[in-house]
Every structure is written in structure tokens, then in C-alpha cells.
Amino acid sequence: MSDRIKTEITTTTDLVLPNGKLNPASIGWSKTPQHNCNVTGRWPRKKRWDYWCVTGPDFLFSVTIADVDYALSGFVYFLDYKSKRFIEHTVVIPLPKSYHMPQSPQGALKLAHKELELEFITDANGATELRATSDHFGGHKLDARIQIQREKNQESLNVVIPWSDRKYQFTSKQPGLPATGSVQIDGETFDFPKGTSFACLDYGRGVWPFSSVWNWSSFSVKNGRDVIGVNLGGKWTDGTGINENAVFLNGKVYKIFDDLIFDYNPADFMQPWRIHAPDPEELDLRFTPFFERKAETNLLLIFTRVNQMIGRFEGGFRAGDKTVKISDKTQAIGWAEEHEARW
């Protein structure tokens, strides 16, 4: 599919038809979540997750609940930028009998496991609290509470990727959400201060092909008086006519319809990356990693590998009629990754 899909969805739409096929009327993108993710059946191809990542001036904290049909998992990780102290813990519940995943990005989620308890609570105003507790967090005790605000008229990037009428993905990417709170590890407090901490939500619901590879990159930062963010992706959307590329300025989303170029060395992910549009005036970013998070699961038929690089961005992009410049002094910290999955 070579033509660009630029359809903007402006009314509430079911993702799936009663016959289980992708609803053609749902294909496109929106500035606020409009899709009812009524994905059912299709075991074991359904993939559903809520991934949150919070970045502050000194620390990063991420928490996820994911249901991939044959397994329910929760994972949490924490990074101290200066010391490079990194702690991660994952729990897996194989063959879960049933688990409710909200059909919109503002639903509530809870995972209770003897090694890890996670809860995502969203109130009527759209504010979300992330809670994570564990006595087994890399041999440490964890107690995290992060509050996330959605400003009035906050926009996001919501996209349906149509591989076929039986394979599809809805994704809601929400960077630049103001966050505040703290993570306690063995009683030591790591603060995410108001005004310089931001959360990003990656909400996904769909039916995936067995084998997939993708790039994903995102960051949020206060740049002078502006709050800016990006969400950039590649590979997994190739040939569909639509992608998950957009930039954000002060709560407004600006869609990038062109596919982007991810230029990096897969033999050494710690070398600098360049991510740019065919027209570099639209977007041209340099990403310099300072930490590599590696995670791999290899169960013969089931395989996942992620190389998630944490680092700093500089460069620029267009947001409407404004050109945004990001210098190395901005301290725009985020991530870029390569992820491979047979799942």
C-alpha cells in the first residue's frame, strides 16, 4: 500500500466489526482516542498492553501490564542517569483464565502477583496514578507512586495500523503528560519533580502477525516555555500506508505522514543514532545513548528481544508553522529501540 492514509477519525468508532474483522471505518488517526478497542477471540494472536514510562531530570521509571493471550505479564524498571544504577523485575502468569483490559486508554488496570503489585487508576478528569509495590525488585523493596495529569484539550496520537482485515493494531501514544511523584527503593526516595517530569503512555490493542520487528523512539521535555515531545516509529508499519509518527508542542499533536529513516548501527546500538524525515526540515534528530537496556525471552517458538537505548536528543522539527530547536543543553532524555518478536 503506497498511498498515504490521512483520514482523521473524529467520532467514536468500533475497531472491530461483529464478524471479527477490522472495521474499515476505523482506519486512520485521531487527535484524541476515538476507538472502542473491542478485540475478542483470535487466540493466541491478540496483544494488549499499557506501557508507561516516566522521565525526570535525574531518573527514569517504567511500568507495564501486558496480556499476549497465552501469558499475562507485568514489569517495572528504574534507571539513575548519573550512576547508571538499573533495576528491573518481571512477573509472568502463563495461560491466564481471563483478564480485563480496558477498551480505551483511560480505563483502570490492576495486576496482583506475589512478587509484584501494579495498579493504574484514572479519575473522571483523566488524571492517572501509577502504583507499584514489590519486595522482590531486584532484591530490593519497591514502593512507587506517580501522578500524571492530562491538561485540558490535551491531544495525543491515535492510529490504526491495518496489516489486513484480520491483523491490525490500534495504538495510542501520549507523550508530554506532566508527572510528579516518587519511587522508593529500600526506603531511599527518588523524586520526579513537578514541571520537569513527564510521562508517556503506549497503549496497544490488536491482532498481530506471528513475526514482527519495530523501531520506536520517544521523548518529552520542557524546552524554554514550551513542552515538547515526539513519538517516532518504523518497520512494523511499512507498507500499510500509515505510521505512528508525530511531534507535540504544548499539548497539540502534529502528524508526520511520511515514514522516517532510522539510521543506527545494529552491531553497536550505543553508537549515535540519526532519525529523520525524507525532508530533514520536517524532522532531524540526533540521539546519543548513555545506557542500553537489554531484555530477551527465548522459548523456541516464542522469542522476543529488545535493545532499548536511553539517551539524549538534539536537533529540530517543524510543528505547524513553528520550527523547534533542541540543543544539547535542553537535556531531552528519552529512548530509541529495536524490538524483534516471534509471539
| Cα 106 to Cα 126: distance, rounded to the nearest angstrom | 7
Q: Which of 40-44, 108-112, 178-182, 297-301 has the lowest mean pLDDT?
A: 297-301
Domain assignment present for residue 7? The answer is no
Domain assignment present for residue 3? The answer is no
pLDDT range class, residue 4, cuts 50, 70, 90: very high
| Structural domain that includes position 143 | 13-342
Q: pLDDT at position 9, please?
A: 98
Domain assignment present for residue 8? The answer is no
Domain assignment present for residue 182? The answer is yes
Domain assignment present for residue 20? The answer is yes
Which amino acid does the sequence have at 50? D
Domain assignment present for residue 4? The answer is no
Q: What is the pTM of this model?
A: 0.97
Residues 177-207: pLDDT tens digits?
999 999 999 999 999 999 999 999 999 999 9
pLDDT range class, residue 97, cuts 50, 70, 90: confident
The CB-side HSE value for 311 (13 A sphere, CA atoms) comes to 23
Predicted confidence (pLDDT) at residue 2 exceeds the cutoff of 70: no
Q: With contact defined as beta carbons under 8 Å apart, do 231 and 218 qualify?
A: yes
pLDDT range class, residue 315, cuts 50, 70, 90: very high
| Cα 305 to Cα 295: distance, rounded to the nearest angstrom | 6
Q: Where on the phi/psi map is residue 126: left (φ > 0), alpha (ψ -120 to 50), or beta?
A: left
Which CATH number do you get for residue 287?
Answer: 2.40.370.10
What are the phi and psi torsion angles at 148 (to 5°)? Answer: -125, 130
State the DSSP string of 24-69. Answer: GGG-SEESS--EE------TTSEEEEEEEEEE-SSEEEEEEEEE-S
Residues 34-85: pLDDT tens digits?
999 999 999 999 999 999 999 999 999 999 999 999 999 999 999 999 999 9
Domain assignment present for residue 1? The answer is no
Q: How many domains does the chain have?
A: 1
Q: pLDDT at position 202, please?
A: 98
Q: What is the mean pLDDT of the chain?
A: 96
Q: With contact defined as beta carbons under 8 Å apart, do 317 and 285 qualify?
A: yes
Q: pLDDT at position 117, please?
A: 98
